[in-house]
Amino acid sequence: MSVHSIFDCIIVGSGPAGYSAAIYTARADLKLILYVGPEPGGQLTTTTEVDNYPGYPQGVSGPQLMEDFKKQAERFGALIKEQTIMSVEFSGKKGGVHKLYTENQEQIQTKGVIIATGASAKYLGLESEERLKGAGVSTCATCDGFFYKGKVVAVIGGGDTALEEAMYLSKLCSKVYLLVRKGQFKASKAMQHRAERISNLEIHFHHEVKEVLGEKFVEAIRVINNQNQQEKTLPVDGLFLAIGHHPNTDVFKRQITLDSSGYIITEKASTKTNIPGVFAAGDVQDSIYRQAITSAGSGCMAALDLERYLLGIN
């Protein structure tokens, strides 16, 4: 096992939060490495068009946006490695040295860590769904709803997030189907009452998607009533999944404080975790906003918090 010299900062993850943190730490002349992890670029790499990120008036593809982030970080001297951190040993004291281990069994020692591993959207596990990701299958109405103005879409889920997505889309789309696997919502009563008053929102309880239909783009979904086993086809232009996210924190379990859903808990108005010198940014600590721009902003915050920590300011 090879051991490197002690770095100032190791960034784990390569979405908007990770790359923004790399840009700021590199510009501060910190000695750093960013490890891209198993999903280089994060969730945005599954998004065909990003139309709401400032600075791109004509829009930009998700992969291209992440490539631009990467190039900017490299321009300032950030070292980026296409490897995954497999395990960690965090020091429990201020000024301590943290140890991280790569898939190649390298031990990396660092004074500071920024965790930006993001969260992965939960999918149904259908082959047809996987094939049409980014071509009509989406997990973010705020990100992609604009492209379905005047069209027909379906939303899957029964919690608050699903109803929020459905209500948002109902303002843009001619019709929205809301498919709920069970016979009732998990969402709050207030959200249910709001949803029931929307005229172009059609709710189907006890329904599940069996197949997403379409060659290059989503054209319809085949659904089944799980009570009577009757199947039908609903013509739709888009399918939005709102069945939850899984924060990518498995590597850090038992090392850092997580909430009941597995998200990293950070101090209010900062990116500090319960471990001195370890910071978290992006969707790995944000279960609410989950936008590229908020992730990028928190990556900047984490870099500034880490720099102040190294200077002994906090």
Q: Which of the residues are catalytic?
A: 140, 143-144
Decide if 286 contacts 16 (C-beta within 8 A): no
**Amino acid identity, residue 198?**
I
Separation CA 74–CA 41 (nearest Å): 14
- For residue 150, which of 166, 170, 133 has the smallest C-alpha distance? 170
Separation CA 241–CA 10 (nearest Å): 33
Separation CA 47–CA 32 (nearest Å): 28
How far apart, in Å, are the Cα atoms of 108 and each of 7, 46, 100, 173, 277? 8, 30, 5, 50, 15
- For residue 261, which of 145, 120, 53, 154 has the smallest C-alpha distance? 120
Element (H or E) spanning 108, and its range? Answer: strand 107-115
Q: Which residues are CB-neighbours of 234 under 8 A, at least 6 positions away?
A: 154, 177, 220, 221, 223
